[in-house]
Amino acid sequence: MSSAPAGTRWFGARVEVPPGVTRARLVTNADDGYTAYVNGVQVAHADADGAENWRRPALTDVTARLGSGTAVLAVAATNASESPAGLLVALELTSADGTVRSVPAGADWRADDKEPPGSWTAPEFDDDAWSAAKVLAVWGSGPWGEVTPAHAPAEVWIPVAEGGADQVAHGTAKFLRTEDGCAVFAASPGRHEFAT
């Protein structure tokens, strides 16, 4: 896997949140650091200080920041030195009936290597000029391997709607890369070593 230049990259996506969500959790991680926002409010942060924070994804309850309708997820990810760079983002939505849906970062995410003006984390920000992310590799490959969350509840599996609350579907995850070589991780619904 090739190296990405040192610097910060800005990422954003719009996610449709269905009515009836009772819990929302955001998994975030980056090699080397990041600041994550939901609807313009900072919800998670890890310094790009060489402490290998990328080994410990954060799990943040963002329920209070979401309502039904369109939500904006935004992340500033910093690669501290020329080296492989990646960003992991997945939104987990739980409905009143216990159904859990994972909304991973994917090709619908946008990215830029120039600091955006104004309130780039807000719902009204227009990111149409940003590049789209591209699939790079399957989860567990590349320099990162499998990582586990730093702040997580005791469970290790994400139940999915198809199997009900007690059955788990296994999924895969992907690395995504923007035109300038910056990578984004994305996970499919199912088992996530990093997302519970």
Write down how long the chain is. Answer: 196
Span 25-64, pLDDT tens digits: 998 888 889 999 999 999 999 998 877 777 778 899 999 9
**54 closest CA partner among 136, 137, 142, 159:** 142
Distances (CA, A) of 147 to 7, 88, 112: 23, 10, 26
Angstrom distance (rounded) from CA 141 to CA 58: 20
3-state secondary structure of 64: helix
0.85 surpassed by pTM: no
Contact by Cβ (8 Å): 89, 184: yes
pLDDT at position 96 is 92
For residues 127-138, average pLDDT = 75
